[in-house]
Amino acid sequence: MSGAGVPLIKQAMLMLVSDKCYETFFYKLNFLDVFCLKALISKCLGLALVAGSTMVKVPQITKIWGNQSAEGLSFITCLSDLYAVTTYVCYSFVKGFPFSSYGDGFFIGIQTFIISVLVLFFNMSSSPASIFSLVYLIIVYVLAGGLTPIDTLWALQAISVPIMFFGRLAQAYTNYKNKGTGQLSAATCSLLLFGSTARVFTSIQETGDFIVILTYALATISNAMIVSQFIMYRKPAVPKQAMKEKKTK
């Protein structure tokens, strides 16, 4: 191995582990150190979640746009999700947490914003969708641009926990009333469930922030509830014989 290659490898590894853990792995050759293993797994999982989050709600957006309909989608749920993810990302950004611990929230926030705009556009009109977009962008600037005290951001993040949870319950209730999941995407909801579950672990490892951990724990519970409704309200498969008979009529 060339001498020039070693520093590059070290720099790459130091993006995943601390100096102490790098020494533990590569100098002491202790690859079973529990603390460092948990930190490495958390960092890798966090980066994987950030990468995956760039597409996690794309199936939902595609489904809404393709059907030109937002039927069955609760705007209250979209708004509560957007509030929760926005306050979380702004709080984490201002606190200086590693991007790997909240980067997925950044990308999910963008996609949630698009979905919220589409719900307003298809369920109402372009005017409220445009006004909502402008107001939201101003709020993000105020929260993340250094204009909001960190204590206020913490309080907003704390408030977002019950808001997000009851917003998801509103979607679950809408599904219950309709006896179906409407334009909800099963792929998106399943990916959100996986992501929130994994984030409980990474938040414990990388932030240790109680509010952040609680947010993802409740998100996991509510996401599991909605995913279970896809199973409850799935349409039974039509037997091939019945389909043939229907075509001949």
Our count of domains for the chain comes to 1
- Residue matched to tokens 């250094």: 146
Residue 17 lies in a domain: no
Residue 49 lies in a domain: no
Residue 102 lies in domain: 56-232
Residue-level pLDDT at 164: 79
Cα 88 to chain centroid, rounded: 11
- For CA atoms 212, 213, 217, 220, give the dihedral sign: positive
Collapsing DSSP to helix, strand or coil, 154 comes out as helix
pLDDT tens per residue across all 249 residues of the chain: 444 455 677 676 777 777 777 788 777 777 777 888 887 887 787 788 788 778 888 888 998 999 998 888 878 888 888 998 999 899 989 988 888 778 888 999 999 999 999 999 998 889 999 999 999 999 999 999 989 999 999 898 888 878 878 888 888 888 888 888 877 888 888 888 888 888 888 788 777 778 778 888 888 998 899 999 988 887 654 444 544 554 454
Nearest to 167 by CA among 72, 73, 71, 80: 80
Residue 10 lies in a domain: no
Residue 13 lies in a domain: no
Residue 26 lies in a domain: no
Residue 9 lies in a domain: no
Residue 45 lies in a domain: no
Residue 14, token pair as written in the block: 């130091």
